[in-house]
Structure 1
Amino acid sequence: MATKKIKSAGAAEPLPKNAVRNCSDRPMPGGNPYKPAVATVTEVIHETTAIKTLRVVLDDPAVMASFHYEPGQVGQLSVFGVGESTFVINSPPSQKEYLQFSVMQAGEVTAAIHRLATGDKVGVRAPLGNFFPWRDWRGKNIFFVGGGIGIAPLRVIMLHLLERKADYGKISLLYGARSPRDMAYSCEIEGWLHNPDLDCTLCIDAPFEGWTHKVGLIPNVLLKLAPDSTNCVAVLCGPPVMIKFTLQALEKLGFTPENIVTTLEKRMKCGIGICGRCNIGGRYICVDGPVFTLNQLQALPQEL
């Protein structure tokens, strides 16, 4: 399952049933796109009561060594005999020792993933989808807004940019959850708070004993922080209701649709634009996404 690159921009028109959409330049799986590579779970991290992070290593050393992906791309993680679901690869591409997926339990497949232990076998079909256009952001300020498990896609692109901090302006993160117990990557957050290259703000919905950071819903905290929209890209991921009101807050702050980026990861099945399960109009979330600007989303039919 060595990765390859496919070039040329995808069109929005519907495709013949057996056709695969041409993709913008991004890594894609080689070989049979339906056949998962077998991987071994090397570590399971309990993030919260509902979220676990799995680190997996592809069993074929040559495939693991040649595996390449861009920040924001996703993979289909499968439990054999149960099914597969789509998750962002949230380890930065510079991490070559394993692939990391963070999973919130929400159904049969995710429950099976949560039962996995070190040494268990899983299937991986990856990388799939497009990615954050980080090269286009050079010279700009970046403001990340994450809610709950939505921090997973932000983690990979944030770490990727911090590795290249000289190419960017100010990098900021606003991360919120219902309570401190619902925050993923708790073992990393302290490092984020003290990273001189990252302006990190944390918030929770309601007061909590011992909490010393912001209290309030993410859109309200964002409005109080009032980041300057000049030469700035806002990148947000989180629950739909959080995204809805955060988009409104960003627009109030002067962010234009082309400078607001988010992800859609629902309804994916085949991952290669054939089954049609994730289509919205003539677009396919698994191929044309999961990363979209607000400008692109506004051009889609209102089916979200």
Structure 2
Amino acid sequence: MIVNEQIDNPFKPKAARIVRHYDLIKDHRFFQIRHIDMKKAMSFTYNPGQFIMVSIPGVGEAPFSISSTPSRPGILELGIRKVGKLTEALFKKKDNDVIYIRGPYGNGFKLDQMVNKDLIIVAGGLGVIPLRSILYYVLDNRDQFNRVFFLYGTRSPQDFLFKTEFFQIKKRDDIECMYSVDRPDKDWTENVGVVTKLFKELPKIDPKETNAVVVGPPVMYKFVIDEFLKLKIPKNQIQLSLERRMKCGIGKCGHCAIEHLYTCMDGPVFTYWDTLHFRELI
């Protein structure tokens, strides 16, 4: 007897509608999108640190980190930089226009090992886009985590993403936020210098009871990880998200392969311990 079953094709994108968009800084735009199928929208689950593939028919497809939190279902949020053919077409879209998405892909951050621990979140530049997801997840589930420290650095105040909401978060009593820029203007009142200078502002921590995450430009990883190691945080409690050239999202095309690892499946989140065994990771 033949049983007809509808098999979900992992390569087939689903239609989604742009709910809202606005500019963050020059050539960087915030998008809220939602699956047109409301059942799909409300059942779509993911972990902070995962990504989706966004496509426009006739233009192309590219991976983008999810910036929203799974603790607020129904809407997906993305922070996108205009840098190529697809993003240029995406920037021409208006609210209520339809695009296509598939995913989520990747592993995401290991949230279970962070529960009832202190957490240090360090973002540099565009790295704050995926870290915004874990930041809001932690704030929405605040009773599950101990002390939380959020360190964010950019080149200038004009490069500071999500400025209004991050300075609003800074007013909260249940998180310590530290912000820094390399080149301040006359209105900047926070720290000046590279993000690693903010580590001297951290209170004493118990390294075995502390987890750390970092996302930023490649040049930043070595210096931030050095600071984590100075605090004696165990290597398997340091997590970082790495961007590689990803195409299919499901480990079939080989674009993101590093030895036997596929960044789109085994990553993009790795522990520092992982990177010691696969030097090409960072």
- TM-score normalised by length of structure 2: 0.92
Q: Tell me which residue corresponds to 1:235.
A: 213
Q: Tell me which residue corresponds to 2:223.
A: 245
Rate the CA distance shift 1:73–1:303 in 2: closer, same or farther, 3 A: closer
Q: Tell me which residue corresponds to 1:130.
A: 107
Given candidates 44, 50, 67, the residue that maps to 1:67 is: 44
Kindly indicate whether residue 82 of structure 2 is the aligned counterpart of residue 94 of structure 1: no
- How far off its partner does 1:299 sit? 1.2
Matched residue pairs, number?
275
Rate the CA distance shift 1:253–1:86 in 2: closer, same or farther, 3 A: same
Cα distance in 2, alignment partners of residues 303 and 142 from structure 1: 23
Cα distance in 2, alignment partners of residues 242 and 113 from structure 1: 29
Cα distance in 2, alignment partners of residues 164 and 172 from structure 1: 15
* Residue identity matched to 1:290: P
- How far off its partner does 1:227 sit? 5.8
Given candidates 160, 166, 171, the residue that maps to 1:194 is: 171
* Residue identity matched to 1:238: G
Cα distance in 2, alignment partners of residues 303 and 94 from structure 1: 30
Given that residues 257 and 294 in structure 1 are in contact (C-alpha distance below 8 angstroms), is that contact kept between their aligned partners in structure 2?
yes
Moved runs in structure 1, 4+ residues, more than 3 A?
A: 223-227
Q: Tell me which residue corresponds to 1:47.
A: 24
Kindly indicate whether residue 240 of structure 2 is the aligned counterpart of residue 262 of structure 1: yes
Given that residues 226 and 253 in structure 1 are in contact (C-alpha distance below 8 angstroms), is that contact kept between their aligned partners in structure 2?
no
Rate the CA distance shift 1:83–1:212 in 2: closer, same or farther, 3 A: same
Q: Tell me which residue corresponds to 2:121.
A: 144
Cα distance in 2, alignment partners of residues 106 and 246 from structure 1: 27
- How far off its partner does 1:229 sit? 5.3
Q: Tell me which residue corresponds to 2:162.
A: 185
For 1:1-304, list aligned pairs within 5 A: 31-223=8-200, 225=202, 228=205, 230=207, 231-302=209-280, 304=282
Cα distance in 1, alignment partners of residues 33 and 227 from structure 2: 38
Cα distance in 1, alignment partners of residues 228 and 98 from structure 2: 42
Rate the CA distance shift 1:76–1:109 in 2: closer, same or farther, 3 A: same
Given that residues 242 and 281 in structure 2 are in contact (C-alpha distance below 8 angstroms), is that contact kept between their aligned partners in structure 1?
no
1:64-112 CA distances to partner (integer Å, 9 max, x unpaired)? 1221112221100112211111111111112223111111222222222
> Is 50-59 or 225-234 further displaced after alignment?
225-234
Given that residues 45 and 54 in structure 1 are in contact (C-alpha distance below 8 angstroms), is that contact kept between their aligned partners in structure 2?
yes
- How far off its partner does 1:119 sit? 2.0
Given that residues 157 and 184 in structure 2 are in contact (C-alpha distance below 8 angstroms), is that contact kept between their aligned partners in structure 1?
no
Cα distance in 1, alignment partners of residues 213 and 147 from structure 2: 13
Identity %: 33
Cα distance in 2, alignment partners of residues 227 and 156 from structure 1: 26
- How far off its partner does 1:279 sit? 0.7
1:22-63 CA distances to partner (integer Å, 9 max, x unpaired)? xxxxxxxx8111111011111112111021111111111222
1:139-190 CA distances to partner (integer Å, 9 max, x unpaired)? 1100000011111111111111122222211001001111111111122112
Given that residues 86 and 265 in structure 1 are in contact (C-alpha distance below 8 angstroms), is that contact kept between their aligned partners in structure 2?
no
Rate the CA distance shift 1:165–1:89 in 2: closer, same or farther, 3 A: same
- TM-score normalised by length of structure 1: 0.86
Rate the CA distance shift 1:226–1:295 in 2: closer, same or farther, 3 A: farther
SS at match of 1:302: helix
Cα distance in 2, alignment partners of residues 292 and 226 from structure 1: 26
SS at match of 1:35: coil
